[in-house]
Amino acid sequence: MSATGVTPAPTVGRPRAFDMEKALQKALEVFWRKGYEGASLPDLCEAMGINKPSLYAAFGNKEQLFLKTIELYENRPCAFFYPALERITSYEVVQHMLCGAASANADPDNPPGCVIVQGALACSESATFVKEALIAKRRAGEVALCTRLEQAKAEGDLPANAEPAALARYILAVLQGMAVQATSGANCAELKQVAETVLAAWPGKRPELE
Partner DNA sequence: AGGAATACCTACCAGTCGGTACATTACTGT
Partner DNA sequence: ACAGTAATGTACCGACTGGTAGGTATTCCT
53 is an interface residue for DNA by CB under 7 A: yes
> 103, 96, 80: which is closest to 207 by C-alpha?
96
**Range in contact with a copy of itself (rule: CB under 8 A) among 14-22, 45-53, 109-117, 150-158:** 109-117
**Range in contact with a copy of itself (rule: CB under 8 A) among 56-64, 70-78, 89-97, 194-202:** 194-202
- For 18, 35, 84, 131, 207, the CA distances from 63, given in Å and listed in that order, are 20, 12, 30, 11, 44
Q: Say which entry of DNA, a copy of itself, none residue 162 contacts (CB below 5 to 8 A, set by partner kind).
A: none
As measured in angstroms, the least distance from the Cβ of 121 to a copy of itself is 4
Question: Could you tell me if 80 and 116 are in contact, meaning their C-beta atoms sit under 8 angstroms apart?
Answer: no
190 is an interface residue for a copy of itself by CB under 8 A: yes
| CA distance linking residue 66 with residue 28, whole number of Å | 8
Q: How many residues line the site for a copy of itself (CB under 8 A)?
A: 50
Interface residue list for DNA (CB under 7 A):
7, 10-18, 37, 39-43, 50-54, 56-58, 61-63, 124
